[in-house]
Amino acid sequence: MQFLTAWLEKYFLPIASKLGGQKHLVALRDAFIGTLPATMAGSVAVMINALIRDLPPQFIDGYDGNTIPVIKEIITVNGYVWNGTLAIAGLIFVFSWGYNIARAYGVNELSGGIVSTAATIAGITFSFTGGITGLNLDQATVDAINEAGWSATATDITAAGYGWLPLSNLDANLFFTAMIIGFVATMIFVKLMLKDLTIKLPESVPPAVSKAFASIIPATVALYVIAIFYFVFSKIVPDMTFLDWLQKTIALPLLGLSQGFGAVILVALFVQLFWFFGIHGPNVLAPILEGVFGVAQLENVRLFHQGGAELVIAEGYHWVRGSFDAYAWYGGSGGTIVLIIALLIFSRRKDYRTVANLSVGPGVFNINEPIMFGLPIVLNPIMFIPFLLAPVVSVSIGYFATILGLVAPVSVAVAWVTPPFLLSFLATGADWRAPIVTLVAMLVSFAIWIPFVIAANKMDPALGEETEHDDQKYAN
């Protein structure tokens, strides 16, 4: 065990430390965090609709919330909240992404967010065309369609429009494009700002005006570079926007790979490895957890909003970002609420029991820093194996329960501080089976932790070595 820990400290820890402090990864993590006010508000709206619209029909025959006064109004209000949050989640993210990149380099954050947003939106289709043939229309219908601005004959309809932004280009589908285009555009802006290629105004000019003028040249250059790229791409791939091409060739295959058991386990394992060395695993792996699994979750939320759990099961993703929270990270990364219970029952060490007692409250709300650094779990050799193994087993249980249809996929984003059981219940759109799956995962994890907690009773808290002293020395 000591050899393994030493090897990891020598080879894994330096890489983990560099990743944890990498400027762009930190900016990406903060960009996702920055969207939380909107995404959580939208998730609350979806969750309320799930409880008053989608859950009751499972128990009450003939229930239709859309026909009940007050209930239908609440559903409508929640729809408006969803329109302004999750329906345009990609648009919100792209501004946050540019803002945080600019902040990381110490330049105008607001302009960075604007450049990132403008550059990304520039590549979205603003028009549509379509048609239907083989019809048999009367003259009154033909006249009405032509008056509305479309073109129609007795057999054909040709529809066209300009000046619109389809929501399918502004929701989670925009994330991958935003990560690439937003990054490139903002970095061009940042580099030109750092080279001081700016318009300088007298000191008497208000700071807000000076900052805005200073950003004009870097922002213009950045946007023109991206515009030229879009132009060249349209010549090479004339029938598809860059967003559509990226979605088809990269995003969808990547999302598909994320649904494999190996990919899910690998992510869970690396989160634990980072945490063992005191580095926040979910933050380091935010590009994967949020950029891949988070995108899958937003798609599930969209499907759930449109058609409930049945549509998610039919067309959505089985494993998403919230699945880790629901079935493995109860009490925080590593499922440490189970460790706390095991310590309170089986530990005879005064130091461990004291930390466990202090960690119960935060642990119920999935805050595990007290147990992580107070026990500690970090760099504690005897905790290494269960800390890695228990979450991997829990993830496996949740994964196969979802794949086999024993529980609905996670389709609602729930605040990470929501207590276990309630979190999985709400996250799956009020599926009563989800807390049972969480309980099974917790019981198995509990069994994994027990031998190591008992073994820790023989370790001297001061020296970290086995001792012949009476175990009663560590009793309360």
Tens digits of residue pLDDT in 417-448: 788 899 999 889 888 899 999 999 999 999 99
- Choice between 365 and 164, residue whose per-residue pLDDT is larger: 365
Between 168 and 132, the higher pLDDT residue = 132
Whether 101 and 183 have beta carbons less than 8 Å apart is answered as: yes
Whether residues 93 and 74 share a domain: the answer is yes
| Eight-class DSSP state of 419 | P
Pick the more confident residue, 417 or 233. Answer: 233
Q: Are residues 289 and 245 part of one domain?
A: no
| Domain closes at, from 249, 272, 307 | 249
CA distances from 146 to 138, 152, 158, 373 (A): 13, 6, 10, 70
Please tell me whether residues 409 and 356 are part of one structural domain.
yes
Task: Please answer whether residues 272 and 372 qualify as being in contact, where contact means their C-beta atoms are separated by less than 8 angstroms.
Answer: no
Q: CB neighbours of 431 closer than 8 A, spacing ≥ 6?
A: 309, 407, 408, 425
Mean pLDDT across the chain: 83
5 belongs to a structural domain: no
The mean pLDDT value for 236-261 works out to: 82
Range of the domain at 118: 23-123+169-249
Helix (H, G, I), strand (E, B) or coil at 369: helix
Instruction: Evaluate whether 414 touches 423 at the Cβ level (below 8 Å).
Output: yes
**The pLDDT of residue 393:** 94
Q: Is the pLDDT of residue 220 over 90?
A: yes
Residues found in the chain: 476
Three-class SS string for 113-124?
A: HHHHHHHHHCCC
> Has residue 252 got a pLDDT over 80?
no
pLDDT at residue 463 tops 80: no
Q: Which residues pair with residue 162 across a beta bridge?
A: 127
Q: Which residue has the higher pLDDT, 323 or 56?
A: 323
Q: Are 349 and 472 in contact (CB under 8 A)?
A: no
Summarised one tens digit per residue, pLDDT across range 12-64 is 556 656 666 678 877 887 887 788 788 778 878 877 887 788 777 766 878 88
Q: Look at residue 193 in the predicted model and tell me its pLDDT.
A: 93
Q: pLDDT, tens digit, for every residue of 169-208?
A: 787 778 778 888 999 999 999 999 999 888 887 877 788 8
Band (pLDDT 50/70/90 cuts) for residue 468 is very low
The answer to whether residue 39 is domain-embedded is yes
> Residue 1: pLDDT above 60?
no
| Same domain flag for 361 and 457 | yes
Question: Which token pair is 288?
Answer: 């994967």
Q: Is residue 421 part of a domain?
A: yes
Residue 396 has pLDDT above 90, yes or no: yes
Return the amino acid letter for 141.
Answer: T
Please write the tens of the pLDDT for every residue from 283-303. Answer: 777 778 887 888 888 888 888
Nearest by Cα to 274 from 41, 18, 3, 1: 18
Reply yes or no on whether the pLDDT at 239 is more than 50.
Answer: yes
| Residue that finishes a domain, picked among 186, 214, 249 | 249
Q: Is residue 15 part of a domain?
A: no
Shared domain check, 115 and 78: yes
Domain count, the chain: 3
Is pLDDT larger for residue 422 or for residue 127? 422
Residues 379 and 423 in one domain: yes
Shared domain for 83 and 150, answered yes or no, is no
Please give the Cα distance from 281 to 267 (Å, whole number).
9
Determine which helix (DSSP H) or strand (DSSP E) holds 75, and give its type and residue range: helix 71-83
**What is the average per-residue pLDDT within 452-458?**
83
The model's confidence at residue 338, banded by pLDDT at 50, 70 and 90, is: very high
Name 40's Cβ contacts closer than 8 Å, sequence gap at least 6. Answer: 413, 415
Q: Report the pLDDT value the prediction gives residue 474, as an integer from 0 to 100.
A: 38
pLDDT of residue 395: 94
Neighbours of 222 (CB within 10 A): 28
Q: Are 345 and 458 in a shared domain?
A: yes
362 and 453 inside one domain: yes
Mean pLDDT value of segment 118-127: 86
Nearest CA among 239, 275, 242, 274 for reference residue 371: 275
Are 180 and 111 in the same domain? yes
> Which residue, among 461, 457, 451, has the nearest Cα to 470 in the 3D structure?
457
Q: What's residue 104's pLDDT?
A: 93
Please tell me whether residues 245 and 351 are part of one structural domain. no
Residue 305 located in a structural domain: yes
Determine the Cα–Cα distance for residues 225 and 221; give it in Å rounded to an integer. 6
Q: Predicted confidence band at 141 (pLDDT cuts at 50, 70, 90)?
A: confident
Reported as a single tens digit per residue, the pLDDT across 62-77 is 888 888 889 889 989 9
Are residue 152 and residue 239 in the same domain, yes or no? Answer: no
- pLDDT higher at 412 or 130: 412
What pLDDT shows up at residue 223? Answer: 95
Q: Is residue 156 over pLDDT 70?
A: yes
What pLDDT is stored for residue 22 in this prediction? 76
Place of tokens 């408006």: 80
* Residues of the chain above pLDDT 90, percent: 28
